[in-house]
Structure 1
Amino acid sequence: MTDRHSVTKIHQPDPHVRRILERAELEGIELIRFLYADHGGVIRGKAASRSRLAERLGTGIGHTVAMMAMNMLDQLQEVEQLGPVGEVRLVPDPSTFVPLPYAPGAAAMLSDLRLPDGSPWAACPRTFLKDAVAALDDLDYTLVAAFEPEFTLGRRLPDPSGGPDRLVPLDDSLCYAGLGFDTAHDYTIKLVRALETQGLHVEHYHPELGPGQQELSVRHAPALRAADNHVLYRETVRGVALRMAMWASLAPKPLADQAGNGAHLHLSLWQDSRNLFAGDSDVRGWFIGGLLAHLPALTALTCGSVNSFRRLAPRMWSSAYAVYGPDNREAAVRICSALGESGEPNLELKPSDSSANPYLSLGAVIHAGLDGIRRKLDPGDPVTVDPDTDPGRFPRLPSSLGEALDALEADEVLMAALGPLRARAYLAVKRSEAAAFQGHDAAFETFHHLRTF
């Protein structure tokens, strides 16, 4: 959709604007992508030309409301208020401007979906996370977070038998093996440099368990920045691979019979420069209690695809039980030990992957944790064994997207936080995905997820 008529200008004086315009001119940036994540977890957007950038920083770019009713298969769902009539604006956040090292001549900004008059739109995922952060602010809390993603690196090749394309991993090296470092070295160095150039500071990297599987983590940040970082991370992982004639997939299970790709979510809660998750604090316990109480519903947002539930199985180190424990990597919530004298303890939510919309995922986690704090929910005793050694004793996570969506629809706290339009749209989009993959084989499922995420 092009903008041929005047629109209400969304006037927000910003110190970043002049710098952006100067950088675009000096660095030869021709197209600036305004990116957002939709209800299907897909990163989408439109791009403004440099010649129109000054205007678009104020007005945004016009966008049909219907796109928030599109699923990951590009099938438009019938959702009230998200049809052919209606317009929102893709309005970029100037503070997120980054040139894209893997796409010379292009830059990107993370964007909000706003109404034409500039006011927040009830189906904007980034606004959902902003509202959750505001709820933290009301209690003088600050949440610091980081996603810890895994992905599979290889090449996308035609199936010899005529089926969907398949991902052929770059190597078959062993977990953490030196050979894995060497095989992926050229790609990894380009990826690290591209991330650092965009302000995503790399923490650590290693070849993971599955063939071609990589894990590279970036430093934690305040909640909104952490979600923005994950969008840029996903785009960069795939963009660098494409420029090297490779294919990278962050899908939960791009190879049905191999290790899955998580995006574990690390969290710490702060007040007056104090980490409230340090020690055996009541606040940490209540926050965990909130996560566990809402975990079946949360899973619909943190593991938001059909493919996610191939990964969430017992004894896969991905969590299949709604339990917590200290450094227990089979628990849904792990209490992570501090690293070194200057390290800070944090919580790790393991049922989390990159098919989720990071704004909805992290926002929902915040609302669940706050509910635990407000109600002082007791998380019960920590679990210090693999819960699958006594499976009848511990509650299982949902085993399918449909089951998780049922739990979400029944969760009054999370449904109220989402709001009527966003909840209605999300459920419609995700139920359509569950129905679309039903009856198809694993090759069909893995293809559509590896090409999308």
Structure 2
Amino acid sequence: MGAGAEERTAREELRRRARQEAARLTAEGVHAVALSWVDTSGVARVKAVPTGRLAHAARHGVGASPVFDVFTSDDAITASPLSGGPDGDLRLVPDLDRLTVLAAQPGWAWVPADRQDQSGVPHPGCARHFLRRMTAAARDSGFEPRMGYETEWVVCRPGDDEPPVAAGAGPAYGMSRLVEMSDYLRDIVTALRDQELEVLQIHPEYSPGQFEVSTAPADPLRAADELLVVRETIRAVTLRHGLRATFAPTVVAGGVGNGCHLHLSLRQDDQDLFRGGPGPQGLDETAEGFLAGILDELPALLAVGAPSPASYLRLAPSVWAGAYHCWGLENREAALRLIPGPPDESGSANAEVKCFDAAANPYLLAGAVLAAGLAGAEAKRSLPAPVQGDPAVVAPATPRLPRSLTQAADRFAASEVLRAALGETLHGAVLAVRRAEAESLDGRDPEAVAAATRWRY
């Protein structure tokens, strides 16, 4: 059988499976399916089809312009050397393995979409394909990576107040705030459970009206998909309670913003590489190189993981945001935190990158982190001495990470590791969008920056 015939057979099999899924969804009262992808600015975009059109979408895709590569968060359109303009078309192809009936949006299902050209070839600007490719590269190197995210958000009262009024008057981490919002939080946990997502914990956070939920780690692609489901579930439950939710990096200027901390672990031949090794703090030598690669690239990675001008209002010293370019053992002020975990809990050792937030495209972010780690492991890099305590106090010579999106974009532009991993199309789109975002809010005061991005995420 020739390649063309095999491809046609595969597409017909996909269409057959999609018909089965559509029949199941219809029986469950689902009337429409949201095909979702995340653009370069970190905004989740969507096209939807009636349930009866799912098989057609799976076989032929749904049209979408390539120009979404260079959309900014305020819906302006910029351009890069290889992206932009009105020409061309891509197909959004649903990944049926991730099809999810939305518990908080009755009658709807959600599915992540891969972006392909008309002949079925992955688009070089597809962030989801980039993550799939980087995960395959990690496995080819003998690693089995797992990732998980902490999702922070602020719940606000309805209305047009600017800045908004936070819901939940209790103190940080306070039981009184949980009691006041217990019905709301219960409905979030229930909806996530009904969507077969495993919640590890949920609690009030530091800022007024702020909460955090953590879900179980998974392979990088699934973890990124599930992060999007978590956010949109929270958003839907919040609206059903007559409230508003924002995941923006900075909700009110001068306050502690919303992070989206990335946790990662590595196994090789079923061995935990973050525990029991000869390296610093029990790291395997390969794991040390992997983390050293991430640490080396953090200033450039910040353009991927903290992609909004508002991100740099959040990245302040002494608020556990990870503003310093250092690592530490269980140090919540370090940008890269090593967590050994309980000694009797297998697989609990992991590393946390604290300087990222929810404006990031999670597929781009996870893929870029893997690329940096793989480069470090291949080069057998070593970690510097860890920092203990708040760097602003005990180690003032520790360098800060970039303090603006422009600075981070400059470091991203100079990173040969990220350029090689992303490819010219995706690297150019990221850089163009970051430059445009920075320019659009240049010279604005902090509250104006916060207001401009508050409801975009």
TM-score between both structures, scaled by the size of structure 1: 0.94
Q: Which amino acid aligns with 1:294?
A: E
Name the CA distance, whole Å, in 2 between partners of 1:61 and 1:307: 33
Q: Which amino acid aligns with 2:155?
A: L
Does 248-257 or 210-219 show the bigger shift? 248-257
Query: Residue 164 of structure 2: SS of its match in structure 1?
Result: strand
Name the CA distance, whole Å, in 2 between partners of 1:57 and 1:167: 41
Query: Residue 286 of structure 2: SS of its match in structure 1?
Result: helix
Counterparts of 1:132-143 in structure 2, within 5 Å, are 132-143=134-145
Q: 1:336 aligns with which of 335, 339, 345?
A: 339
Does 383-392 or 230-239 show the bigger shift? 383-392
Query: Residue 267 of structure 1: SS of its match in structure 2?
Result: strand
Corresponding residue number in structure 1 for 2:273: 276
Structure 1's consecutive aligned runs of 4 or more residues displaced over 4 angstroms after TM superposition are none
Q: 1:93 aligns with which of 95, 100, 116?
A: 95
Q: Which amino acid aligns with 1:251?
A: A
Quote how far apart the aligned CAs of 1:245 are: 1.3
Q: 1:368 aligns with which of 372, 378, 383?
A: 372
Name the CA distance, whole Å, in 1 between partners of 2:13 and 2:354: 40
Unaligned runs of 5+ in 2: 1-7, 277-281
Q: 1:13 aligned to 2:13?
A: yes
User: Equivalent pairs: percent with the same residue?
Assistant: 37
8 A contact 1:16–1:95 mirrored in 2: no
Q: 1:351 aligned to 2:352?
A: no
8 A contact 2:153–2:248 mirrored in 1: yes
Q: 1:153 aligned to 2:155?
A: yes
Quote how far apart the aligned CAs of 1:81 are: 3.7
Counterparts of 1:224-235 in structure 2, within 5 Å, are 224-235=221-232
Name the CA distance, whole Å, in 2 between partners of 1:195 and 1:386: 36
Corresponding residue number in structure 2 for 1:410: 414
Name the CA distance, whole Å, in 2 between partners of 1:362 and 1:114: 20
Q: Which amino acid aligns with 1:252?
A: P
Name the CA distance, whole Å, in 1 between partners of 2:125 and 2:97: 22
8 A contact 1:72–1:452 mirrored in 2: yes
Q: 1:316 aligns with which of 316, 319, 339?
A: 319
TM-score between both structures, scaled by the size of structure 2: 0.93
Q: 1:244 aligned to 2:241?
A: yes
Corresponding residue number in structure 1 for 2:68: 67
Quote how far apart the aligned CAs of 1:19 are: 4.4
Q: Residues 336-376 of structure 1, C-alpha deviation per residue, up to 9 Å, x if partnerless?
A: 13136124210011111111000000100001111110001
Does 366-375 or 193-202 show the bigger shift? 193-202
Quote how far apart the aligned CAs of 1:213 are: 0.6
Q: Which amino acid aligns with 2:266?
A: L
Corresponding residue number in structure 2 for 1:420: 424
Name the CA distance, whole Å, in 2 between partners of 1:424 and 1:129: 17
Q: Residues 82-119 of structure 1, C-alpha deviation per residue, up to 9 Å, x if partnerless?
A: 31110001111001101111111110101111111111
Query: Residue 143 of structure 1: SS of its match in structure 2?
Result: strand
Name the CA distance, whole Å, in 1 between partners of 2:258 and 2:12: 39
Corresponding residue number in structure 1 for 2:195: 198
Does 108-117 or 192-201 show the bigger shift? 192-201
8 A contact 1:156–1:166 mirrored in 2: no
Corresponding residue number in structure 2 for 1:3: none
8 A contact 2:302–2:408 mirrored in 1: yes
Quote how far apart the aligned CAs of 1:390 are: 4.2
Quote how far apart the aligned CAs of 1:196 are: 1.5
Q: 1:209 aligned to 2:206?
A: yes
Corresponding residue number in structure 2 for 1:105: 107
Name the CA distance, whole Å, in 1 between partners of 2:155 and 2:10: 41
Unaligned runs of 5+ in 1: 1-7, 160-164
Quote how far apart the aligned CAs of 1:392 are: 4.0
Name the CA distance, whole Å, in 1 between partners of 2:288 and 2:408: 24
Name the CA distance, whole Å, in 2 between partners of 1:383 and 1:391: 8
Name the CA distance, whole Å, in 2 between partners of 1:23 and 1:51: 11
Name the CA distance, whole Å, in 1 between partners of 2:181 and 2:254: 22
Q: 1:185 aligns with which of 177, 182, 186?
A: 182
Name the CA distance, whole Å, in 1 between partners of 2:341 and 2:394: 29
**In angstroms, what is the RMSD of aligned CA positions?**
1.7
Name the CA distance, whole Å, in 1 between partners of 2:179 and 2:388: 36
Q: Residues 296-334 of structure 1, C-alpha deviation per residue, up to 9 Å, x if partnerless?
A: 001111111111111111101111111111101111111
Corresponding residue number in structure 2 for 1:296: 299
Quote how far apart the aligned CAs of 1:381 are: 1.2
Q: Which amino acid aligns with 1:262?
A: G
Corresponding residue number in structure 2 for 1:253: 250
Does 66-75 or 49-58 show the bigger shift? 49-58
Name the CA distance, whole Å, in 1 between partners of 2:211 and 2:396: 34
Corresponding residue number in structure 2 for 1:5: none
Name the CA distance, whole Å, in 1 between partners of 2:334 and 2:12: 45
Name the CA distance, whole Å, in 2 between partners of 1:9 and 1:386: 59
Quote how far apart the aligned CAs of 1:53 are: 1.5
Quote how far apart the aligned CAs of 1:171 are: 2.2
Corresponding residue number in structure 2 for 1:115: 117
Does 203-212 or 231-240 show the bigger shift? 231-240
Q: Which amino acid aligns with 1:153?
A: V
Q: Which amino acid aligns with 2:442?
A: Q
Does 428-437 or 391-400 show the bigger shift? 391-400
Corresponding residue number in structure 1 for 2:384: 380
